[in-house]
Amino acid sequence: APSGAVLCIRAHARAFVWERMAFAARFAPGPLRRGSLPAALTAAAAAAYSFGGSCSGGDSESSVPVHRRLLQAPRPLLHGATSASPARCEGPQRTNLPKVCVVGDIFVDVVAKVQGLPQWDTDTEAEYVKILPGGSALNQARNLQALGAEVRFIGSLGDDSFGQTLTRHCEGQGFLMKWVKVFKDLPSSVCIVLTGAHDRGFVSCYSTTKAFGTADVEERLDALDGCTHFHVGGYFNIGGIHNAKFTDIVKRYRAKGVTFSLNTQYDSSEAWTGSNGHLKELLPHTDMLFVNESEAHMICASILGGKGSPDQLLRSYPQMTIVMTKGKDGADVLRAGQPTLHVPTKPLDQVVDATGAGDAFLAGFLSGYLANRGGGQPEDQILRAACQRGHAAAGVCVCREGACVEPVRSEDL
């Protein structure tokens, strides 16, 4: 049923609408009261050509977000940026910044607020349509840089309007995209999110995430020069690195003293072991594994069989630290042969959008942990402080719309 949104778009909008709507500087910032989804897309195209129009209808200017141009006109932005306070990704100006290379997924999210899922040969009105930056690894990398690390990011996009707009958005915030692979013959990976009052439906294109692989990483290994930490985000989304050659890269840099962390994300295949069981091959060389509670138990059950637990997983991979988030219940840090370190989180008065909270937590944790490790403090103290910084970053993220339209900065905490 969710794919009916694609049919609806095709039936009512020309191809140029999709090409141009990504360039609208003010793309559906408020409720669309004057038309249906196709009408919204048509209005978006008109706004794109004027580089500054709006697809909202009926709302006063004060009731909708004010969109900010990250670069000089006529270049547009993704939804949600504000003109009042430019959100740069640069961290504090220090000389001892942790240097981190992040490899992983990039998505462009097209979000439509609807009352129900569309059916074939029908039209469904959308309250709004927004274009937002996404991809676990990109969210983690942008937040990590804004929280004080020097970040080099390796990922992939297509040579299309979505990819170009996302690139300008990130670069306009001071985030380097020079190591991103651009596939000339592929569209960028996009997720159409149909969000309703009680549930969501997704239509996803995995084109560039599926095409991205170890060879693309090898061509960009200069990004790892001088780095002290190597991180992979959205592992299950990028099956092209699930091979021995990528494991060899990790082993090679760990031998040079570079630590390695891994964030798996949800596995849509439900296998939870990576392509051809690659995760089992990678975990012996992983220093830190970031998972939520559900992911942890699914991975343990798949790798160990039956109802394996994180404690049992650590018996097989004793060099690894597991950082497991538990939503409102905080986070646990698990290490082989040591008691679980539980770090609670503070309750929030309001949650605007929980999307991206885990990515923000990870960035907050790593920024704190990498800056303080090796400084003589007790390990438990460093890990506890890192979790608290992660909770603070997640708390800022959930009070904003979108996973990472603007990165969480140190001054936000």
**52-62: per-residue pLDDT in tens?**
223 333 333 32
Query: Quick one: pLDDT band at residue 308, thresholds 50, 70, 90?
Result: confident
* CA 407 from centre of chain: 11
How many whole angstroms separate alpha carbon 347 and alpha carbon 361? 15
* Whole-number pLDDT of residue 81: 56
How many whole angstroms separate alpha carbon 407 and alpha carbon 236? 23
Instruction: Name all contacts of 307-316 with Cβ < 8 Å and 24+ positions apart.
Output: 310/334, 316/283
Least Cα distance to 358 among 139, 94, 93 occurs for: 139
Q: Give Cα separations from 257 to 83, 260, 287, 360, 368 (angstroms).
A: 42, 10, 11, 26, 19
Mean pLDDT of the chain: 81
Contacts of 128 (CB under 8 A, 6+ apart): 28, 29, 30, 31, 32, 40, 55, 56, 111, 112, 113
Per-residue pLDDT tens digits for 50-103: 222 233 333 333 233 322 222 233 334 455 554 334 455 655 445 568 999 999
CA dihedral for 25, 30, 31, 33, sign (positive or negative)? negative
Place of tokens 């991180």: 231
Query: Quick one: pLDDT band at residue 185, thresholds 50, 70, 90?
Result: very high
pTM of the complete model: 0.79
* Whole-number pLDDT of residue 200: 78
User: Where is pLDDT greater, at 402 or 93?
Assistant: 402
Q: CB of 188 within 8 A of CB of 106? A: yes
* CA 106 from centre of chain: 7
Q: Please, is 92 exposed, middle or buried when counting C-beta atoms within 10 Å of its C-beta (0-12, 13-18, 19+)?
A: exposed
Place of tokens 């993704």: 78
User: Where is pLDDT greater, at 319 or 202?
Assistant: 319
